Amino acid sequence: MQILYINNDGAGFADHIHVEDGTTVSKLFTQRVPHGRASDYLIRVNRQPATSDQVLQPGDRVSFTPTKIEGA
Amino acid sequence: MPPFDPLLWRLAGRLAAHISKISHRTLDIDLAPRSMDAVRQLLDQLHAATERGWHSAAAYLSLQLRSRLTECQTSINAGLKATSPGAFWQSPPTQRLVYDELVAVRADFADFTFDLPDQTISVTTEEITLEDIYLGRFEIRLQGRELGGTPYIIIPESPHFPSSRSDVPHPHVLGERLCEGDASAPLAHALRTGRFSDFFQIIQQTLASYNSESPYVALDAWYGADCHACGGHASDDDSSYCDGCDATVCSDCSRSCQHCGTSGCDACLPQCPECCNDCCSSCLNRCEGCSKLRCPECLTNQLCEDCHAEAATNPDTDEEAADEEAPESDTTLSPDAPLPPDRVGQALVPA
C-alpha cells in the first residue's frame, strides 16, 4: 500500500512510499530511522499524535519531526 | 471534525496560489543553449582539424571545447540540483490540502490567529525554558505574501533578554529572525509543499532546542558575564564593574578601595605597599620624605612610618629637610644615619 511519508530531519523528505500491509508506526520508524530513537521524534499519523502500535492504512500521512532541532 | 471555516478556506486558497507561483519559478532552468551550440561547432571544427593533420589547431580547439563543456556541466548540475526529489516535480499543494494543514495548526497551537487581508498566520509557542533560563513564549508569524523569501518572524511575547544585549530574545533569534541552522532545509521543504503544520512544529522544536556551538548569546552568560579576572561565570547579582577598565568581575575577584570605595579588578586596583590594604591610585599619596607611595592611613603629616622613625633618630636632619623643603635630601649620607628602607637608593647594575 502507499502512504505519504514525511521526515523533517536532515534535508527534509516528503514523498509517497510503498509499505507492506499491516505495517505499524514503530515498524516504519525502525525501517526509516534505523539509528534513531522514537522518543526523540514527534510522530504523527494524519497530523494526529500516534501510538507505536498503530497500524497504518493506505493513504495515511506519517510524519517524523525531531524534538531537538539545533538552530545556529 | 471541526466545523468548516470559510475564511480559513479562502486563506488556504491564497497560500496555495503563492506556493504554486514558487513551484513555477523552480521550472526556470537555464541549460546554456549557447554553450551547447558552441560545443557542436567546436566538435565539427576539431574533427576537420584532426582529419587535415592540423595538430596545433586541434590542440587549441580541444582546449576551447573543454572550456565550453565545463560551462555545460555547470548548468546541468544546477538543473540537477533544482530537480532534486521533492523540489520540482511534486505538484503544488491544493487548496484542500493547505486548508487541512491550517486546521491542524489551529489544533496544535492554543493561540492560533489569522488575518485574511494581510495573509498572516500567528501561533504562540509553549513556554520555553532552556537550561534553566526562562525565555517565555514566542509568537511565530507567517506572512503569506512573503512565501518564497523569508516568510516568517519570531516575536517574544514577554522578552527575557540577556543582560548583555536587548536584540536577542532567544539564543538563536536576532531581532525577529531565527537563525535556522539544521531547521533550514526541512523548513524550506515544508513551505514548498504547503505542509504548514510541519512548518510551525519545526520552528517550535527549534526554539525549544539549544545549540551551544553557535548562539548569539550563550545561555551560561545569559544573566551575567565571564569574570575578567578568574574566567568563571559572574551572574548579575554576583558581579561588578571595575572602575578602571570597565571589565566585569565576580564578587570573589572584586576589590574596593578601603578609603573611597572605588571598585576594581586585580590589575587596576593597587595595594598600599605598607599595610597591603586595597587602595586606589587616587588615594595613594607619596611620602614627602622618601617619595614612596602610601595609603592615607600609613601617612602621618605626609610622612611614612619609616621617615617618621628616621626623623626621631636624627631630628637635625629632619629639621634641615623641613626648612629646605627638600624631601630628596640624602640623609643617608650622614655617617650616623640608619640604613634606608629596602630598595631605597638601589639601582640595577649590569652584571
Residue pLDDT, tens place only, B2-60: 889 999 999 999 999 999 887 665 555 666 777 788 899 999 999 999 999 999 999 99
If you ran DSSP here, which 8-state letter would residue A40 be given?
Answer: G
What pLDDT was estimated at residue B238?
73
Q: How many CB atoms lie within 10 A of CB B96?
A: 12
Over range B215-230, report the average pLDDT. Answer: 84
Is B332 a residue whose pLDDT tops 80? no
Q: How far is A7 from chain B (nearest CA, A)?
A: 8
Cα angle: B250, vertex B253, B258; to 5 degrees: 115
Q: What is the ipTM of this complex?
A: 0.92
B106 touches chain A (CB under 8 A): no
B211/A72 touch (CB, cutoff 8 Å), yes or no? yes
Closest-CA residue of chain B to A64: B198
Q: Tell me the count of A-B CB pairs closer than 8 A.
A: 91
Measuring CA to CA, how many Å separate B35 from each of B42, B174, B199, B239, B350?
Answer: 10, 44, 40, 66, 78
A6 interaction partners in chain B (CB closer than 8 Å): 195, 198
Over range B126-132, report the average pLDDT. Answer: 94
> What digits encode the pLDDT tens for the residues B57-101?
999 999 999 988 988 887 787 777 666 655 544 678 899 999 999
Q: How many CB atoms lie within 10 A of CB B207?
A: 25
Phi and psi, residue A51, nearest 5°: -90, 160
**A21 or B301: which leads in pLDDT:** A21
pTM of the model: 0.62
B100 touches chain A (CB under 8 A): yes
If you ran DSSP here, which 8-state letter would residue B340 be given?
Answer: P
A12/B181 touch (CB, cutoff 8 Å), yes or no? no
Supply B129's cell numbers. Answer: 525554558
B210 touches chain A (CB under 8 A): yes
Burial string for B283-301 (b: 16+ CB within 10 Å, else e) reads bbbebbbbebbbbeebbee
What pLDDT was estimated at residue B83?
63
